[in-house]
Amino acid sequence: MTETSQGAKSARASTGAAAGIRRLLEGLDDARLGEQMHGLVAELFPICRSITGDGVRQSLRILQQAIDRGLPPGPVIVDDPYVALPPKEKVYNEMESLIYHFKLIMHGIQPPVGETYFQVEGGNGELGFYVVSDGTKNPYRVRCRPPCFAIYQAFGRMVIGQTIPDVVAALGSLNIIAGELDR
């Protein structure tokens, strides 16, 4: 094992910073396990831990299973005018739809009082949102947890004792999106 890979393993172990595809390739837990995915449970599908294209084949199998189960016909949007814009056809031809459209655009969604955290598995890892609502249209607090913020925590320990070219290579291997680090 090289000094660089030892530093990377040490950094991952200490910060838990591996996320997304890096997390899966290293055999760590997947954030999707136990989560409901549009009526399907993630445990029904094996998790790919290979860089040989198995992820694409597995995605195709998941899509085929969803098609075989029978997707319901029609639009894929909630039918609630208080949280979803009505179709443009209705907005142009029905007064009620025009009013709902106007109210949603001008006043926004008014979520119930409370707090919630929701995460999705993005290309670089877990993308999470924490929202606290006081019942008005403007949330009391909103925080976004971008995937690269956690991944970048490992960078300092990965490059200890390395040369400048190694630092550049290590940073490139993390697939960092710099705009997510501005915190």
Residue in 25, 73, 27, 69 with CA at minimum distance from that of residue 44 = 69
pLDDT at 111: 83
The one-letter amino acid at 78? V
pTM for the predicted model, two decimal places: 0.56
20 touches 148 (CB < 8 A): no
pLDDT at 124: 80
The one-letter amino acid at 136? T
180 touches 165 (CB < 8 A): no
pLDDT tens digit string along 60-83? 887 787 778 777 777 778 888 888
Burial class from Cβ neighbours inside 10 Å (0-12, 13-18, 19+) for residue 89 reads exposed
Domain limits of the chain?
15-73, 76-109
pLDDT at 16: 47
Give the pLDDT of the chain (183 residues) as one tens digit per residue: 444 444 444 444 444 444 455 555 555 555 555 555 555 545 455 655 556 666 677 778 877 877 787 777 777 788 888 889 999 999 999 999 999 999 999 988 888 899 999 988 777 888 899 999 998 888 899 999 888 888 888 888 889 999 999 999 988 888 888 888 876
pLDDT at 104: 92
